[in-house]
Chains A and B, each alone.
Chain A
Amino acid sequence: MHNLLKLENITMQFGGVVAVNNLSLEVNEGEIVSLIGPNGAGKTTAFNVVTGVYEPTNGCVSFEGKAIVESYPRGKMRKTYAGENRGAYHKRIVKTPDKITKLGIARTFQNIRLFKSMTVLENVLVAMHMRRKSNLFTATFMLNRKEEKEMRRKATELLDKVGLLDVKDELATSLPYGKQRRLEIARALATEPKLLLLDEPAAGMNPQETDELTAFIREIRDEFGLTIFMIEHHMNLVMDISDRIYVIDFGKLIASGVPAEIQNNEVVIKAYLGVSEDE
Chain B
Amino acid sequence: MKSKTIFKAIDIVLLLAAFGVAIAVDLVMPVGLPATVLKKGAVFAVVAVSMNLLNGFTGLFSLGQAGFMLLGAYTYAIFSIPLEARASVYYMQDHVAGFLNVVELPVVVAMIAAGAVAAIFAFLIGLPVLRLKSDYLAIATLGFAEIVGAFAKWEMLGPITNAPNPLVNYPKFSKVTTYFVAAGICIAIIALLVRSTYGRAFKAIRDDEIAAEAMGINLAKHKMISFVTSSFFAGVGGAMLAMFQSKAQANSFNTALTYEILLIVVIGGIGSLSGSVIASFLYIACSEWWLRFLDTPDVIPGLTRNGFRLVVFSAVIMVIVLFFRRGLMGDKEFSTERLVKGSKQFVKDIQDRKARKAKEVN
Contacts and interface: CB of A to CB of B under 8 A. Distances in A.
Interface of A: 51, 53, 96-99, 101-102, 106-107, 109, 113-118, 122, 125-132, 134, 136, 139-142, 144, 148, 151, 187-188, 190-191
Interface size class of B (residues with CB under 8 A): 20 to 34
A97 B211 CA distance: 10
A45 B331 CA distance: 35
A51 B214 contact: yes
Contact of B203 (A118, A144, A190): A118
Given A130-B215, A187-B215, A191-B215, A139 B197 contact: yes
23 contacts: A53-B210, A98-B216, A98-B217, A98-B219, A101-B213, A102-B216, A113-B211, A113-B214, A115-B203, A115-B207, A115-B212, A116-B207, A118-B207, A126-B201, A127-B215, A131-B216, A132-B197, A136-B225, A139-B197, A140-B198, A141-B192, A144-B197, A191-B215
B193 interface: yes
Nearest to A108: B214
Q: Which 7 A-B pairs have the closest CB atoms?
A: A130-B216, A101-B216, A113-B211, A115-B207, A139-B196, A127-B215, A97-B213
Interface in B199-228: 200-201, 203-204, 206-208, 210-220, 225
A95 to B, nearest CB: 11
Given A129-B197, A129-B216, A130-B217, 5 more contacts: A98-B217, A101-B214, A102-B216, A118-B203, A136-B225
A46 B79 CA distance: 57
B189 interface: yes
A118 B207 CA distance: 9
A194 to B, nearest CB: 13
A140 B212 contact: no
A51 B197 CA distance: 24
Contact of B197 (A98, A99, A115, A151): A151
Contacts of B200: 118, 122, 125-126, 129
Contacts of A134: 197
Contacts of B213: 96-98, 101
A227 B331 CA distance: 39
Given A115-B204, A191-B216, A148 B197 contact: yes
A37 to B, nearest CB: 22
Given A126-B200, A139-B198, A140-B198, A107 B214 contact: yes
A130 B215 CA distance: 8
B186 to A, nearest CB: 13
Given A136-B225, A139-B198, A140-B189, A109 B211 contact: yes
A90 B189 CA distance: 49
Contacts of B216: 98, 101-102, 127, 129-131, 191
Contacts of A148: 197
A118 B217 contact: no
Contact of A126 (B196, B212, B220): B212
Given A126-B204, A129-B201, A134-B197, A97 B192 contact: no
Nearest to A99: B218
Contacts of B218: 96, 98-99
A138 B167 CA distance: 37
A142 B194 CA distance: 12
Contacts of A102: 216
Nearest to A147: B197
B307 to A, nearest CB: 39
Contacts of A113: 208, 210-211, 214
Given A96-B219, A101-B216, A140 B196 contact: yes
Given A117-B203, A125-B200, A129-B200, A140 B193 contact: yes
A159 to B, nearest CB: 16
Contacts of A115: 203-204, 207-208, 211-212
